[in-house]
Structure formats: C-alpha cells, structure tokens
C-alpha cells in the first residue's frame, strides 16, 4: 500500500482536485507542468490512482502550496 493511499482514501474529497479548483488550474495545465498524461492527473483527482509521495512534493511545488494542503482537508471542508 502506498503512503498516499493512507492519506487519501477513495471516499474522501480529493485535495489535488480542490487545490486545482481553488487556483483555477486545469488538469491539462498540471499535466503539462509535470510532464504527465492528462489521464493520469484525472485519475489522481478521481481517487482512482494516487501519486507517489515524490510526485506529491512536485505537485505542491508546481502549485505553490504546502504538501499538507494536498494530503489533509481543512476543518471547514468536513
């Protein structure tokens, strides 16, 4: 089991999706920045697949957010 599966269960709101929406960024834009397939980004956002912790660090860097913002929701979202 990947560490990200522990933090992002399938039934939880996906934090990558939330941050992308908050910043008005598309899956396509993120895919281009990470040199990934857009389908991969979509699968991450739908909790069908989870990125590695290294990739999460890269995503946080590209989106200029703390990695914690990609792992845990704020209390206001619960």
- pLDDT (tens place) for every residue of the chain, 78 residues total: 455 444 555 556 799 999 999 999 999 999 999 999 999 999 999 999 999 999 999 999 999 999 999 988 765 554
Distance of CA 57 to the CA centre of its chain: 10
d(CA 30, CA 43): 13
Instruction: Answer for the pair 70, 19: CB distance below 8 angstroms, yes or no.
Output: yes
Model confidence over 40-55: pLDDT tens digits? Answer: 999 999 999 999 999 9
d(CA 27, CA 38): 6
pTM of the complete model: 0.78
The overall average pLDDT reported for the chain is 85
- The whole-number pLDDT of residue 13 equals 74
Domain residue limits, the chain: 3-63
- The whole-number pLDDT of residue 35 equals 97
Instruction: Answer for the pair 20, 30: CB distance below 8 angstroms, yes or no.
Output: yes
- For tokens 């939880």, name the residue: 12
CATH T-level assignment (fold) for domain 3-63: 434 Repressor (Amino-terminal Domain) (1.10.260)
- The whole-number pLDDT of residue 71 equals 86
């Amino acid at each position: 089991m990947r560490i990200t599966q522990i933090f992002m269960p399938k039934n939880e709101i996906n934090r990558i999706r939330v941050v992308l929406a908050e910043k008005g960024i598309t899956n396509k834009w993120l895919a281009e920045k990470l040199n990934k397939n857009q389908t991969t980004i979509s699968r991450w956002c739908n909790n069908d697949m989870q990125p590695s912790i290294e990739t999460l660090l890269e995503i946080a860097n590209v989106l200029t957010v703390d990695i914690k913002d990609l792992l845990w929701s704020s209390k206001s979202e619960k």
